[in-house]
Every structure is written in C-alpha cells, then in structure tokens.
Structure 1
C-alpha cells in the first residue's frame, strides 16, 4: 500500500524497489524499514513508498459490505475536511500547500481502488450532504475511475484524480454570497461565477510545480463543440485530463439535489450524460462511464415511475437505459412498457 514516509512504522517492508528522481536505485524490494532507511528516503526527496500490508491491518477485500461502507465513509469525511482546509487556505492566501493535497487524497484512493462496484460507491456518496467540498471529492474519485477505464496508468489516474479534486478551487475567490447562493442566478451572477475557472488556474499555478491541474481547472467547463467557457475551446484544444474531469463533473453535478426538482436518479443522469457525449463531452470518456456503470446496475433495487419497487435483472442491449426489471414475481420489460421509467436506484 502507498504510504507517506512520515507514516512508515518500524519493521514495514518495501513491496517494490525504490528509485530516486534521477533513476538511481535507493532501496531494494523487501527491505525492512527503520529510522536509517526513513532518513535515507527523506534525503532522496522520496515522499511515498509502497509497503507490504501490515499483519495487524484489516484487508479491505476481507471486509463485509457494512464494514467496507463504514471505512469508506470515515475516509470520505476525512478527505472532505482536508479539502475544506485546502480551500480555506486558498481563500485566505491565494494558494495552498501541495503536500496537503497528496496527504489527504492518497488514502481515499487506496480505499476505492479495491472497490469495483462503483454504482454502490456513487449511491453511498449520494447519501452525504452535497456542498462544494463533497462535490469536489466526488469529481476527483469518479475522474480516477474513468481514467482507469480508459487505460491510463495508475500514476496518471492519480494525477487526473488530483486535478478533479482541485477543479473548483477557484471558487474560493468568489464572494461568499455567490458561493452560498441558492436558486436561479441572474446574468451578472453567472458571469461572475464563470470566473472561477480562471481563478482556479491562477491558484493552482501558484501552488504547484505541475501546470496540468491548473489547465484542468481552467478548462473543465469547455465543451468539444466550442459552447463552453472561458475560452470557447473545441475538442482538440482541450487537455485530455480536462475532458475526463468535465465528464465526472457533469455527472456529479446532475446527481446533486435541485431545490426545485429534487435529486435525479443515477440511471437518468447517466442517460443525460451519455447524450452529451454526442457533441459536447468527450465521447470516449462518456462511453467508458456508461459501459462500466450499466452492468453494475444489475441486482440493484429501483424505484419505478409507477411507484413500484423493482430489482434490475437484465440490461437491454438495444436500449440499456430501459432494463428488464422484476417486481415481486413478475417481470417488466421497460423497453416495451415505454410509459414506465426507472426514477431512482438504491441498495
């Protein structure tokens, strides 16, 4: 498991060889870590190492669903608080401590990396109160999954997740009145709100050596047809990481409760995002999201528009947003019964 050098315990063993930034071998796989080794790692500017699981530490794969959910919620809340600290630092100083981002995000990614049922994760996340902090973390985590489904390396997935985690940091420079506003925005408020992308670019650029997360903050509202902001960029002009975060951000935003309409169901949101993949959002990222989430709806409970509670038993390959469901001892094919739709999904 990935562990910060300051959190290594006496006797931890390396799971991989360690190399410094120049590519020189520092410590071999299997090394038992003690004070001398920790000092060496610090001198070599190595922040994280991969260690063998500790004997006294529960394996996530061995946890039952309730234990896993409890562990997930604990880490989610801790990571949200971490983002809140980062946000407040940016609000007061105009920048943030880069190491704090990695310290708060990395443990959460280790938790979700072992979980393949992403739909259950999204349902669990949806149980939290939605605010700027929880929204940012959810975007970061979903960006991580989309990147992995697209074939990015683990290191790249982490960087994309980090960019998603920070995508809205520019909102720290908006007036509190605007950040807390509920209900429709007028034109002047919309123009001011849109500035958060440029603010985010400036804050991240002043806080990190890597400019890519800054570009993602700047471009996550750009659209491939040129209809986005702030620059009206088109497909090939948008950074690939920003294209992924844009999909995650759109999905999470749509699942957030609306004061007037309530919360849209996961399948409804997925269909809407899927439709945006034909022109506005990156088609590959949208297809990856739909292709990996839809099979995971099987076995989940669903609330139908006619008031019935059903279990999803099969995805219709010709219209996978209208599955076959079971209500008690009878089946309903929603591809045939067009007047009924899935309104919500839960565990």
Structure 2
C-alpha cells in the first residue's frame, strides 16, 4: 500500500525502491524500516513510499507476547537487584563489611538479562518497584551506566565495571539519617552539607572494604560537574574520572524521571532535553550526546499524553527538534515543533 512518509512506523517493509527528487537511491525494496530510515526519508523530502500490508492487531499481540514474557524475567531480576542493594545497605548499617561477591550476585544477573535489549525506554517504563527511591535509583543508575558504556563501544568487561560503579554510587547514603533523606521539605544548610557527605562516606567504604580505587573514586566524584560547580571537591573537566562522568549522566537522568518525597517525576523525553541543556557546561558533552542519540529512537511507538488532554503515539523523531516528535492522534499527524504551548506530560508503553 502507498502511504505518506509521516504515516510510516518502525517495522514497515518497503515493497519498492525509494529515491529522492534528484534520483538518488535511498532504500531498497525489502528494507524493514527503523527510526533512522524514516528520518532519512523525511530529510530527503520523500512524500510517499510503497509498503507491505501491515499485520493485523491480533497478529501483533501474538508477536509481542514473547517480549512481554522476557520483560517479566527482567522485572524479577530488577527487583532482585533492588533487594540486593537493600541488603548491602543493611549490612553496612549493622556494622558489616561489603563483599564483592554479594554485589555481583545481585547486579550481574540483571545485566545478563538486559544486555541485548535495545528498547531502554520500555525497560525504564516497566521496571519499577515499590521500594524507596534510593534503592531503585541505584539499580537504574547501574543499568543506564552499563548501557552508556556499551554505546561508547567499551568492552563488555569494562562496561560491567562501569555498571557496578553506578550500582554502588550512592552506597554512602546508608550513613545518612533517613529523617534527612526522606524529608519532604527544603533541607537546612547543615542537612544539605550532611547529604553531600554521602560521596565521602561511599569513597571510604568502598576503598577500605572492597579495596577498589576506581569504584571508590566514582562514589566520590559522581556529583562533580565539568564547570567546577559540583561537590565535594569542585573538580573541573578532565580532572573528573571518565567513569564518574558517565555515572553523572545516568544519575541525573534516573533522579529526574523518578518520584521523590520533594519532587514529582518528569517525563523521560523532557529530561533528555534537560540533559542536553546541562551538556553545555555541567555534564560531559560527548557522553551526554551518546546517551541522547541512543535513547531518542526508543520513543517511537510509545503512547503519549499531552498537556491539552489529547492522547497519541509517537511515530517518528523530528530531525529539527529531537525533543518535540511527530505524533499520530486518531489518524491525524501532529508536529510538536509547531505547537509551542503544548507539551508531552507522560510517555507510556
């Protein structure tokens, strides 16, 4: 069937070659379109293409069933990893010692289940638990740090180390009073200074108990910023370890998409835009751009709720503004970049 480029969705299959207006061959017949293909067709001002008939809704459900089963396994392992970080916190609070085998037995199975998963957005939307923010946040940061490392073409061994560093980055918070961590109102100056010490507590704990200087350094530096505005040592630029700069991106993203006692969660796409803003000074720009570039295609096909009450589905990214995509609402196509006063409030699977 012949469809307009703005009606294409990921997974559509071309049944004829596609050319631009000057005759340049773009895509061959038989190509199964991904987000990049659709964006390219749009950039070359292609209006219509021929695609194979789409499968029925029943067939889609059947095809998606194995994915749902895999996600159930991932959810179980995510919850196990949350339980694992809780046990680590409890161990230290009771005067016990961190053991590397306990860290890896809780975290590594989760990574094993998600390492081939391409849709990180669906993972973040589905992998939620009822545990407190600090515990769930630690697992999310470990996952995201692993993904960023892989997207940066790190080896599997190095990516696992970076993921583990993310998993343990907040371990020092076990030394902070829960009354302070869970305070719904604004912290006093003394309370804020005490919270900042979690970086130092984590550094000392990991260095002495796990005897791992790199993991310890990440715990110390994950709140440092490229422009020197971070803490605890106000390090600048490349004086911050490269792993710490990776964990900083994962840490901020996870924090902003999560509900906390003093802050409502923000939409996943909105937070990517905020990270982009922070890459001009506070965050490592190369790492941040790698993260954004690999996350954006994951939003295609996701359901969205808009600030004006409408609901729709993201059909493609906008090449002129990645953070304001093209949306299908009841068969009509909406370009968010043309609607300055309408925002995406929620994204769902």
**Shorter-chain TM-score tier:** 0.7 to 0.9
Can you list the C-alpha shifts for 1:172-231, whole angstroms capped at 9, x where unaligned? 111232233223211111011000000000000012232100000000000000000000
Cα distance change, pair 120–127 in 1 and its aligned pair in 2 (3 A) = farther
Give the distance between the partners of 1:146 and 1:249, measured in 2 at CA: 12
The alpha carbon displacement at 1:75 in A equals: 0.7
Can you list the C-alpha shifts for 1:88-140, whole angstroms capped at 9, x where unaligned? 11222263111110111111100010211101011112465542111101100
Cα distance change, pair 212–282 in 1 and its aligned pair in 2 (3 A) = same
Give the distance between the partners of 1:93 and 1:296, measured in 2 at CA: 43
Q: Give the one of 188, 191, 196 matched to 1:189.
A: 191
Can you list the C-alpha shifts for 1:30-64, whole angstroms capped at 9, x where unaligned? xxxxxxxxxxxxxxxxxxxxxxxxxxxxxxx9971
Can you list the C-alpha shifts for 1:262-310, whole angstroms capped at 9, x where unaligned? 3211101111111111110111111011101101111111111111111
Alignment length, in residue pairs? Answer: 287
Can you list the C-alpha shifts for 1:223-271, whole angstroms capped at 9, x where unaligned? 0000000000001100000000000000000011245663211101111
CA contact (8 A) 2:180 2:187 kept: no
Decide which moves more: 256-265 or 311-320.
256-265
CA contact (8 A) 2:182 2:261 kept: no
Listed as ranges, the gaps of 5+ residues in structure 1 are 1-60
Aligned to 2:180: 178
- Length-normalised TM-score, structure 1: 0.79
Secondary structure of the corresponding residue to residue 64 of structure 1:
helix
CA contact (8 A) 1:243 1:282 kept: yes
Give the distance between the partners of 1:304 and 1:130, measured in 2 at CA: 28
Decide which moves more: 121-130 or 153-162.
121-130
- Length-normalised TM-score, structure 2: 0.79
Aligned to 1:253: 255
Aligned to 2:28: none
Aligned to 1:159: 161
Aligned to 1:67: 69
Secondary structure of the corresponding residue to residue 309 of structure 2:
coil
Aligned to 1:285: 287
CA contact (8 A) 1:94 1:203 kept: no
Secondary structure of the corresponding residue to residue 302 of structure 1:
strand
Q: Over aligned residues, Cα RMSD in angstroms?
A: 1.7
Can you list the C-alpha shifts for 1:121-169, whole angstroms capped at 9, x where unaligned? 1111246554211110110000000111111110000000000000000
Ranked by relative contact order (alpha carbons within 8 Å, sequence separation 6 or more), the top structure is 2
Decide which moves more: 315-324 or 125-134.
125-134
Aligned to 2:302: 300
Aligned to 2:109: 107
Cα distance change, pair 156–62 in 1 and its aligned pair in 2 (3 A) = farther
Give the distance between the partners of 1:334 and 1:298, measured in 2 at CA: 14
Decide which moves more: 158-167 or 277-286.
277-286
Q: Give the one of 86, 104, 119 matched to 1:117.
A: 119
Aligned to 1:270: 272
Give the distance between the partners of 2:141 and 2:315, measured in 1 at CA: 29
